[in-house]
C-alpha cells in the first residue's frame, strides 16, 4: 500500500457513519469533543458559521468541508453570535450507517452532511497527529474538484438511498477521508519544517523511502539501502528523512514495524512467529523484546488484554442524525 492509504487503513477501525441534516434559521448547535474519533461537516446548501473552541468564528459556504482530525468539539450556527444548544442525544447509543433529519423552524434552511470515523488512538500515526484541530477546505470556484465530486456522490446516496447503499456509503466515506487528507497535504506541501508530513510525502527522496518501508516492512532495510532508494548518499538521506519525518529512518522503521505487528495481533490469530516474520524480525524472541520495549507488555499479553473488545466504552454520539454530526464511528 502507498503511505497515505496504509496510515489510514491502520488507524481507521469500525464502520464510519454519516447523516444529512436540515437546519432552518435561527439555529446554533454545539458538538462536543469525542476522543478517539475524526469527523467532518460539509455544507450542501446554504451557509453557516463555524465556531471553533478557540479563535474567531468564520463563514462556511456551500460545498465547503470542515474536518476535525482529533475529534475536538466545535459549534455551527446561522449567525456568529448565536447561542449554541447542547446535544440531547445519548452519546453511547448505537449509530446508524446513514441518517437524515430536519430540525424545526421556518427560516432559511442550511443543509449539512456529516460523518464520523473511529480511530485507534493506540496506533496514532504522526501523519495525522500533526494536523490542526480544524481544517477548512473550500470547494468552490474550481478548487478541490475531486473532493467536491465525492461530497456530491455521498450526499446523493444519503438523500436517496438505493439498493446497495450499505456497501456504497462506507466506501464513499472512506474515499472522502482520503480526498480530505489529499487536499490538505497538497495545500501544505510547500512548508518544509521538521515533521511536516505533507512535505515528506511530496519530497521525491523521502517519499520513495517511506513508500519502500510501507510496501515491505519486513525487508532488511538499512540507512544505506533506503538512501539508495532515495538516490541520496547515506548521510544526506538520513538528514533529509529526519528533517521531514521528525525521526531518523531506522527509528521510524522500527516504530512502523511494531505498529503493524500490533494491528496483526489485534486483527488476526496468526502465530507470534508469523507476526514476527511479517514485520522483519528473524526470531520470535527478538520480536517479543522489541515489542515489549515499545508497548510495555509482551505481544501475547497485548493480544489478550492490550486492545479493548469492539464496543467497549466507545464514545459514539450517534442515536440521532444530530448526534452523528461529531460522531466517532462504531
Same domain, 119 and 220: no
CATH number (domain holding residue 15)? 2.60.120.280
For position 109, what pLDDT does the model report?
94
Same domain, 185 and 43: yes
Same domain, 223 and 248: yes
Which of 47, 46, 51, 199 is closest to 134 using CA atoms? 51
For position 266, what pLDDT does the model report?
84
Same domain, 46 and 117: yes
Using DSSP's 3-state secondary structure scheme, residue 45 falls into strand
**Distance in angstroms (rounded) separating the CA atoms of residues 306 and 29:** 36
Same domain, 258 and 321: no
Does the predicted TM-score (pTM) go above 0.75? yes
Give Cα 201 distance to the centre of its chain: 16
On whether the CB atoms of residues 315 and 38 are closer than 8 A, the answer is no
**Distance in angstroms (rounded) separating the CA atoms of residues 156 and 150:** 10
Plot region of 55 (φ>0 → left; ψ -120 to 50 → alpha; else → beta): left
Specify if 310 maps to a domain: no
**Distance in angstroms (rounded) separating the CA atoms of residues 240 and 207:** 11
Which of 44, 40, 28, 38 is closest to 76 using CA atoms? 28
pLDDT tens digit sequence for 268-317? 899 999 999 999 999 999 999 999 999 899 999 999 886 544 333 333 33
Q: If the chain, 330 residues long, is cut into consecutive pieces of 10 residues, what is the mean pLDDT of each piece?
A: 79 79 93 87 94 92 92 93 78 59 86 86 75 86 80 83 83 88 78 67 92 94 96 96 92 94 89 95 95 92 68 35 42
Same domain, 153 and 202: no
For position 290, what pLDDT does the model report?
95
> Which stretches of the chain are DSSP H helices?
3-11, 126-129, 145-159, 165-188, 197-202, 204-215, 223-230, 234-245, 249-267, 272-278, 284-295, 299-301
Helix, strand, coil percent values for the chain (each to nearest 5): 45, 20, 40
150: containing domain: 3-189+315-326
Same domain, 91 and 183: yes
Specify if 150 maps to a domain: yes
For position 131, what pLDDT does the model report?
85
Give the gyration radius of the chain's Cα atoms.
21
For position 153, what pLDDT does the model report?
87
CATH number (domain holding residue 227)? 1.10.10.60
Same domain, 275 and 300: yes
For position 123, what pLDDT does the model report?
65
Specify if 255 maps to a domain: yes
Amino acid at each position: 500500500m502507498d503511505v497515505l492509504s496504509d496510515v489510514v487503513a491502520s488507524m481507521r477501525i469500525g464502520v464510519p457513519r454519516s447523516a444529512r441534516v436540515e437546519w432552518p434559521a435561527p439555529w446554533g448547535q454545539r458538538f462536543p469533543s469525542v476522543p478517539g474519533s475524526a469527523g467532518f461537516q460539509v455544507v450542501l446548501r446554504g451557509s453557516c458559521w463555524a465556531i471553533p473552541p478557540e479563535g474567531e468564528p468564520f463563514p462556511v459556504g456551500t460545498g465547503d468541508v470542515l474536518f476535525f482530525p482529533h475529534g475536538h468539539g466545535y459549534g455551527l450556527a446561522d449567525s456568529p453570535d448565536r447561542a449554541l444548544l447542547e446535544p440531547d442525544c445519548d452519546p453511547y447509543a448505537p449509530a446508524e450507517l446513514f441518517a437524515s433529519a430536519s430540525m424545526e423552524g421556518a427560516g432559511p434552511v442550511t443543509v449539512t452532511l456529516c460523518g464520523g470515523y473511529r480511530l485507534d488512538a493506540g496506533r496514532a500515526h504522526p501523519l495525522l497527529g500533526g494536523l490542526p484541530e480544524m481544517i477548512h477546505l473550500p470547494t468552490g470556484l474550481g478548487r478541490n474538484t475531486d473532493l467536491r465530486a465525492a461530497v456530491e456522490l455521498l450526499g446523493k446516496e444519503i438523500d436517496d438511498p438505493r439498493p446497495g447503499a450499505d456497501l456504497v456509503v462506507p466506501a464513499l466515506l472512506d474515499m472522502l477521508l482520503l480526498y480530505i487528507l489529499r487536499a490538505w497535504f497538497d495545500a501544505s506541501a510547500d512548508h518544509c519544517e521538521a515533521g511536516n508530513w505533507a512535505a515528506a510525502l511530496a519530497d521525491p527522496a523521502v517519499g520513495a523511502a517511506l513508500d519502500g518501508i510501507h510496501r515491505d516492512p519486513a525487508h532488511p532495510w538499512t540507512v544505506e539501502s533506503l538512501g539508495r532508494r532515495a538516490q541520496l548518499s547515506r548521510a544526506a538521506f538520513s538528514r533529509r528523512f529526519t528533517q521531514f519525518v521528525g525521526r531518523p529512518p531506522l527509528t521510524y522503521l522500527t516504530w512502523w514495524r511494531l505498529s503493524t505487528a500490533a494491528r496483526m495481533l489485534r486483527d488476526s490469530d496468526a502465530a507470534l512467529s508469523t507476526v514476527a516474520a511479517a514485520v522483519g524480525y528473524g526470531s520470535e524472541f527478538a520480536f517479543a523484546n522489541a515489542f515489549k520495549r515499545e508497548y510495555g507488555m509482551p505481544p501475547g499479553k497485548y493480544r489478550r488484554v492490550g486492545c479493548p473488545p469492539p464496543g467497549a466504552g466507545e464514545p459514539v454520539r450517534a442515536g440521532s442524525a444530530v448526534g452523528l454530526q461529531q460522531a466517532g464511528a462504531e
